[in-house]
Amino acid sequence: GEQTLVNRTVGKLVSLREELKHKPLSGTLGIGHTRWATHGRPSEENAHPHTAGPVTVVHNGIVENHLSLRASLEARGHVFTSETDTEIFSHCIREKLDAGLDLTAAVRSILNDIEGSYAIAVISSTEPDKIVVAKNASPLVIGLGDGETFLASDIPALLHHTRDFIYLHEQEMAVVTADGVELSTIDGEVFERAPKHITWTPSQAEKGGYKHFMLKEIHEQPRAMVDTLRGRISLETGDVHLEDVTLDDARVKAIDRIYLCACGTAWHAGLVGKRFIEQWARIPVEVDLASEFRYRDPLVTENSLFIAVSQSGETADTLAALKEAKRRGARVLSVCNVMESSIARESDDIVYTHAGPEIGVASTKAFMTQMLALNLVALFLGRRRGTATAGAVTHALSQLSQLPGLVEHILTDSTDVERIARKYVAARDFLYLGRGENYPIALEGAVKLKEISYIHAEGYAAGEMKHGPIALIDEDMPVVVISPQGSHYDKTSSNLQEVMARQGRVIGVATEGDSDL
């Protein structure tokens, strides 16, 4: 008979690679997963895959009712070897195989008992030619090759093998073989779905000479911004054309409030977008964290426009907030980077950012293109509602079209940034200050420093500084003051003076050539 070989290690992927040198695996079919510890500490026993009898499973997601499922499996004699929620899958499926079901039927039969999120891949030594997969609220894509088929959570992982993909939707499953896939719902309804050919290229999933993906993606910003604008703006007529927005004029005119929802960096882009939309379209905009919106009984109506902002299009809270708004009758528009993602699929209107795959953990080019896309939405709404004139929009568009070149210019020389980073590398805390549209930029700067450098940082509206954080300022806390020339320049400059007066160290972000600041 066939045999399933398992290799698991703790720590970085490189340790698995080492392990495989000593214990190589051979075969024609395999599954793997890097676990993010939710239930049970990081250990070899808790690492995926999890095996029970002939059944082996990997799982991305969280089973919420795993304790009760585990208790009843244990009562029926199953012996667990890990602390994970995932292990219940292998035992449940094994039980069904023992009862005479084939692998596909066995997987299908247990899914209705699972509460929570999953993308699972299941193999069994009893049917060694197939992988059975199922999806609910965790992403799963299938890549089609020539005599080979691939699975992953995300497209970039497979770009070196194929650019033809089938996306699984909620509560769908697939039987994957070397020759292709058979799709069905978890209730057993068989269906077909044409594969999509992706324009992303394999080189977009490589570091291309950069030290890491984040640096590469920072340098991709000018190109990404050009792609966000491409084909959407007319500098002659001041028209903004959003190809996947089908809102008709009546609906545009009827919008009486906009809810902008997102998480993390995308939420910061939303805070900037609020200013653009209120300025151009004169519609009040509320910006919410998706994890708050979904639980706060929002006052959404049919005349609300709900805008979700998400790079991945898979962020669970953003998706749930969107569904909640939809349920209450709102029209739903999303600003999204990944085609066919869950958020894109659930939306009435989509503005793709076209930033290309984001592989680095920190959102950089995604953030930039989200702000740009929201600016286009603001100009689009302004034109359609008559609150913005063709002349004013033409002017704004010509400025926007210069933006990629300006970003390119900034990125050609990073010596100042590196010098400042070295100077302050030992600081434990940072403050970021800005006003107006630079207030959300200050928030974003602080998040970036925290997640990348593990240095504590807070973003503040510059005008709020005197109402609290000023007490913290001394020579040990560098303060980044974002003060380009523009309407808030004088006000922000006086906040800068307040910092200096307390011996604070200021890192100014200024317009090129501004020697005063």
The reply to whether 214 sits near ligand F6R by the rule CB under 6 A is no
User: Of 134, 152, 133, whose CA–CA distance to 144 is shortest?
Assistant: 152
Distances, alpha carbon 474 to alpha carbons 252, 498, 506, in Å: 50, 11, 11
In angstroms, the CA 331 to CA 300 distance is 10
CB of 104 to ligand F6R, least distance (A): 32
The reply to whether 221 sits near ligand F6R by the rule CB under 6 A is no
CB of 399 to ligand F6R, least distance (A): 26
Distance, C-alpha 108 to centroid of its chain: 29
Nearer residue to ligand F6R within complex by CB, 84 or 353: 353
In angstroms, the CA 323 to CA 47 distance is 33
The reply to whether 228 sits near ligand F6R by the rule CB under 6 A is no
The bridge status of strand 257-262 relative to strand 285-289 is parallel
Distance, C-alpha 298 to centroid of its chain: 24
Instruction: Please report, as a single letter, which amino acid is at residue 220.
Output: E
The answer to whether 396 and 379 are in contact (CB under 8 A) is yes
Nearer residue to ligand F6R within complex by CB, 238 or 360: 360
The Cβ of residue 384 has, within 10 Å, a number of other Cβ atoms equal to 19
Write out the two tokens for 104.
């596909």
- CB-based closest residue to ligand F6R: 264
The reply to whether 362 sits near ligand F6R by the rule CB under 6 A is yes
How deeply is 397 buried, as exposed, middle or buried, from its count of CB atoms within 10 A (0-12, 13-18, 19+)?
buried
The reply to whether 104 sits near ligand F6R by the rule CB under 6 A is no
The reply to whether 438 sits near ligand F6R by the rule CB under 6 A is no
Instruction: Give strand ranges (E) for 39-140.
Output: 50-52, 55-63, 116-124, 131-136
Nearer residue to ligand F6R within complex by CB, 233 or 447: 447
Residue 356 backbone zone (phi > 0: left; psi -120 to 50: alpha; other: beta): left
49 DSSP assignment: P
CB of 246 to ligand F6R, least distance (A): 23
User: Of 385, 340, 338, whose CA–CA distance to 240 is shortest?
Assistant: 385
CB of 60 to ligand F6R, least distance (A): 15
| Among residues 54, 264, 357, 382, the one that binds ligand F6R under rule CB under 6 A | 264
| Among residues 266, 393, 441, 506, the one that binds ligand F6R under rule CB under 6 A | 266
The reply to whether 332 sits near ligand F6R by the rule CB under 6 A is no
* Interface of this chain with ligand F6R, residues 59 to 98, rule: CB under 6 A: none
Residue appearing with tokens 């008992």:
113
Nearer residue to ligand F6R within complex by CB, 304 or 363: 363
The reply to whether 359 sits near ligand F6R by the rule CB under 6 A is no
> Site map for ligand F6R, 445-484, x if CB under 6 A?
------x---------------------------------
Q: Please identify, among the stretches 76-84, 245-253, 263-271, 460-468, the one whose residues bind ligand F6R according to the rule CB under 6 A.
A: 263-271
Look at the chain and count its residues.
517
CB of 216 to ligand F6R, least distance (A): 15
Nearer residue to ligand F6R within complex by CB, 264 or 436: 264
CB of 264 to ligand F6R, least distance (A): 2
The reply to whether 341 sits near ligand F6R by the rule CB under 6 A is no
In angstroms, the CA 91 to CA 365 distance is 43
The answer to whether 380 and 258 are in contact (CB under 8 A) is no
CB of 1 to ligand F6R, least distance (A): 44
Nearer residue to ligand F6R within complex by CB, 258 or 319: 319
The Cβ of residue 5 has, within 10 Å, a number of other Cβ atoms equal to 11
Nearer residue to ligand F6R within complex by CB, 82 or 318: 318
Tell me how far apart the 2 most distant CA atoms of the chain are, in Å. Answer: 80
How deeply is 243 buried, as exposed, middle or buried, from its count of CB atoms within 10 A (0-12, 13-18, 19+)?
exposed
* Angle, vertex CA 171, rays to CA 169 and CA 174, nearest 5: 75
The reply to whether 369 sits near ligand F6R by the rule CB under 6 A is no
CB of 362 to ligand F6R, least distance (A): 4
Nearer residue to ligand F6R within complex by CB, 183 or 198: 198
Nearer residue to ligand F6R within complex by CB, 122 or 263: 263
> Site map for ligand F6R, 290-329, x if CB under 6 A?
--------------------xxx--x--x-----------
The reply to whether 342 sits near ligand F6R by the rule CB under 6 A is no
In angstroms, the CA 236 to CA 398 distance is 10
Q: Which residues contact ligand F6R by CB under 6 A?
A: 263-266, 310-312, 315, 318, 362-363, 451
